[in-house]
Structure 1
C-alpha cells in the first residue's frame, strides 16, 4: 500500500487550522485580554487535540509497530493490541479496529494529567479569575476546536489519511507535541511570565501545526526536527494471515461470559489497589488547595464524587478491554488444529496444531475460578516466538477438554494458602482505612496524610506479594 497521500493540492488544508490558531489574538488587541487568558485558550485547545488524537487512533488502519517503547507513550503489554479484525458501526465512517482501542485509551489516561499540570501552572504564573470562563474566551476555544474538527474531517477522513497511519503514530504525534509544550512551560513558564509565555505558546503552537502539515505532503521531505514533531515513522504493516483448516469444526466451546466479566472486575480491582495510595497523595492536596483558593466548602465533597466517578470509569474501561480480549473468543477443534475464532469481528485470531501445544494445565492462580467454580486452561504454543495462551474460563471444563480433545486429564485445582490470602486482604483494608481517616478527619495535618499515603503504598506492595504467594503457581 502506498504511503503517498491522494493526488491533489493539499496546501489549503492548513488554512482552517492557521486561522483558528490566530483567531484568539484579536481578544488581546480589542478585548484587552490578559496574556494569561490566551495561554489558557491555547492550553485548553491542546487538551482537546489530545481527545481528537484518541478518536484518530480508533480508525488508523496500519498495524502498530512492535517497538512501542522508544516514544513518549509506551504500550508494550496489551493483548488487545494484537487483536485481528474490525467493526464498522455506521457506513459513512471507516471501520474501527479493535487492536486500536488500547492506544485510544492511553491518551484518555494522559489527558487528565495534562489538565492538572496546566491548571497548576496557570495558578503559579498569574491570578486566575472568572474571566477565563467568559463568553468570548469560550468562543475562542470553540473556534480552535472547530478548526481541528474541520482538519480531522477533511484531511483525515475525506482524504483517507487514516489508511497511512498506525494508532501508535496517531497518539504519539499528539503526545510529543504536548510533551514539548509541558517541558518548556514547566522549565521556563514562571521565569518568562505571562507575556513571555504568550509569545512562546503562540509560536510553538503554529510550529507544531505546521510540522504536522508538512510531513503529510507528498512533495516534501521534512527535516529531522520537523519529522520528530509530526510523529514516528511507519514500518511495513504486512501481516501473515492465520492459516485455518478448511475442515468444519468437530468441537467448539465458548468461555463463560459472566465469569469473564467477574474475572475482569477482580483483576481491575487488584491492580487498582496499588494505585490508590498514589492517587490519594495527588488528590488530597489538589482538592484541599482548590477548596482554599475558591473558599468553597462543596469542593471537597465534589472532589470525592469526582474521584469515585473516575475510579468507576477506569474499572469499567478495564472490564471492557478484558472482555474484548477473552470474552469474544470461540475455541474450535478443526482436524488436528486448535483455532481461536473471534465471533465479534468474525475473524480467526490464532491457530496451532494440538500436538504442538506444550504444558497444557489448569491455571491455579485465578481467584475467580476458585470462587465461581470455573476453570481456565493455560498452555504454550510453538509460535515464533513461543506464546503463553489462556483458554476460558469455562463453566464446564470437562466438556471443554473433551470438545477440543486437549491432552489434559485432571481439571481440579491445587489448594491455595488461605492464611496468606487473608493476611493480604487485611493489609489492603488497613491501607485503605488509613487513607480515608487521614483525608476526611477534621484538623488532620498535611504531614499525617503524606505519611499515611506512603505507609499505605508499602502495605499494598507487601499485600500483593503475599497474595501471589498464596497460590500454588505464585512466585
Structure 2
C-alpha cells in the first residue's frame, strides 16, 4: 500500500485537474465553446507528449501491413543515441510513429478545430479561470511524463505504436463536444455541461487506473481497431563475439544521390501532392506569403527524406567477424543486421541506377535471420569486387545488364511525349494560364508517375 500511495496522490491530481472545468460550468458560467477550447488545448498537448514518449519507447513496434509511416525507412534503423545524460536514449526507429501522430493531428484535426472555433464560435474571452483550467490539465500530463514515464522507467515496457494510440480518447471527446456545439440552443444547459465534464473526468480516471494499477474494472474487452499486436521485443541484434577481421565503408556520394528516389516517392504521397497543388494555386494567385510558406514545407519534406535515407544507409560499415557479415552503424554504434556467410545465404547483384551512373556496386543478400523478410542491401560501395575480396564473400558474378541504346531511345521518346502534354498547356495560344495551372494539378500526378517509370527504364540501361 505504501508503494502505491504516490500513484494514488497523482490520481487525485488527475481528478482535480479534470474537475476545474466543472467549477467553470457551475460558478463561472462557461458554455460548450469554452469547454471546446479547453479540451482542444489538452488534446493538442497530449499529442505532443505522446510523440515525445514514442521517441524513448524501448520495445519494438510491429507496424501494420500495407501502411507506410512518414520516413518509414527509419523503421529498420537499429540502435539509439542519448541527447542528455538524465534522459533515456532516443530510438530513430520510433521517429516515423512520432511523425504519424503529429501529422494526423496538426496536419488535419488541429487546423479543422481551429477554423471551427474561429469561424463558427463566438469570441472567446480569455480569463484567469480558463487559463488555470488549461494549465492544470497540461501540468498533469507533464507530471505523468516526468514522474511516471521517465522517472519509473515505463519507457522500457512500451512501444511507440502503443503510445500513439493514447491521444485518440481526447480526440473523440473533442469531436463529441464539437458536434454538440452545432446545436447552439443547448449550449447553456448546465446539466449537459456538467455531464460532459463528469464523463470526461471518469474516462481520464479510468485510463489512469488501467495504466497504473493494472487490469480493467470491466469484464468486457472491447477493441474498436483490430487484434493485431502493438508491441514486440526490442529488435536490436546481438553483436557477435568474434573480432573484426576486415571492414569496408559505403560510398556516401552514391547514398546521397540514391536518396533522390526516396524524394521521388515522397512527391507522390497524398500530403505532398496536396502541398504541390496548393503551391501551384498560390503561384497562380500570386500570394507571396503562401508561396513562401508552402515552398518551405515542400523543401522540409524533401530535406527530411534525403536525411532519413542517408541515416539509413550512409553511416554503415560492413565488418567480417568470423563466419558473420555485420552491417555496423558507426553513428549509433550498433549493428543493423547480421548475416551468416554460408550455404543458407544468397548474394545477388542489384542493378541500381546510381551504380550505373557512378560505377559503384551493391548486392542483395537474402536468408538473413536478423531482419524481417530476410533480405538486406549490401552497399553501395566504390569498388564492389574489391569489397567482396576484402570481406571474402562467396560472390563470383558481379556484372550488370549490358547497355541497351534501343531501350534507352524508346523510353526517352515516350518520356518526352508525356512531358510535352503539360508543356503544351502553357504554350497553346487559346489556353489561359489559370486553365493551364488547373489542368496541371489534375493531370500532373498521372504524368509524374508515367514519366518516373520511363525515366527509370532509360537510366537502368544507360
**TM-score normalised to the size of structure 2?**
0.77
Residue 279 (structure 1) aligns with: 275
Superposed displacement of residue 155, structure 1:
2.0
Residue of 299, 303, 306 corresponding to 1:316: 303
Query: Secondary structure of 1:410's match?
Result: coil
What is the distance in 1 between the residues matched to 2:157 and 2:186?
Answer: 39
Distance 1:33 1:239, change over 3 A: closer
Instruction: Quote the residue 2:9 is aligned against.
Output: 12
1:180 counterpart = 2:180: no
Structure 1 386/236 Cα, relative in aligned 2: closer, same or farther at 3 Å? closer
Structure 2: state its 5+ residue gaps: 427-431
Residue 103 (structure 2) aligns with:
109
1:331 is aligned, of 318, 334, 352, to: 318
**Partner-residue secondary structure (3-state), 1:86:** coil
Cross-structure match for 1:96: 90
Distance 1:277 1:76 in 2: 14
**In 2, Cα distance between equivalents of 1:262 and 1:375:** 13
- In 2: Cα distance, 1:230 partner to 1:208 partner: 18
Identify if the C-alpha distance between structure 1 residues 172 and 323 changes in structure 2 by more than 3 Å, giving closer, same or farther: farther
How many pairs are equivalent?
443
Inter-CA distance 243–319: structure 2 relative to 1 (3 Å threshold): same
Q: Deviations over 1:260-309 (max 9, x none)?
A: 23322442244314544433556789x89xxxxxxxx99x4322222222
Q: 1:187 deviation in Å?
A: 6.3
Deviation at 1:118, TM superposition (A): 1.6
Unmatched tracts of structure 1, length 5 or more: 1-5, 289-296, 436-440
Superimposed CA distance per residue, residues 81-122 of structure 1 (whole angstroms, 9 cap, x where no aligned partner): 343322222211112223222221222222322212223433
1:401 is paired with a residue whose SS is helix
Instruction: Provide the residue aligned with 1:458 in structure 2.
Output: 446
**43 and 245 in structure 1: CA distance in 2 versus 1, 3 angstrom threshold:** closer
- Note if contact 2:25-2:193 (Cα within 8 Å) is conserved in structure 1: no
Give the Å deviation of 1:223.
3.2
Give the aligned partner of residue 389 of structure 1: 376
Kept in 1, the 8 Å contact 2:161–2:230? The answer is no
Is the CA contact 1:45–1:141 (under 8 Å) kept in the aligned structure 2?
A: yes
1:215-294 equivalence runs, <5 A: 215-218=210-213, 220-223=215-218, 237-238=232-233, 242=237, 245-275=240-270, 276-280=272-276
Deviations 1:179-212 (A, max 9, x none): 5346646766635778289678645643542243
Query: Is 1:84 equivalent to 2:84 in the alignment?
Result: no
Q: Secondary structure of 1:389's match?
A: strand
Q: Which residue of 2 aligns with 1:294?
A: none
- The equivalent position to 2:57 in structure 1, one of 52, 55, 60, is 60
Partner of 1:367: 353
Q: CA RMSD in A?
A: 4.4
For 2:362, the equivalent position in structure 1 comes to 376
The structure having more radius of gyration, on CA atoms, is 2
Deviates more, 1:248-257 or 1:211-220: 211-220
Following the alignment from structure 1 to structure 2, what is the Cα–Cα distance between the partners of residues 42 and 464? 45
Q: State TM-score, norm by structure 1.
A: 0.75
**1:339-358 equivalences in 2 (<5 Å):** 339-356=326-343
Q: What corresponds to 1:118 in structure 2?
A: 113
Q: Report if the CA contact (8 A) 2:14-2:205 is conserved.
A: no
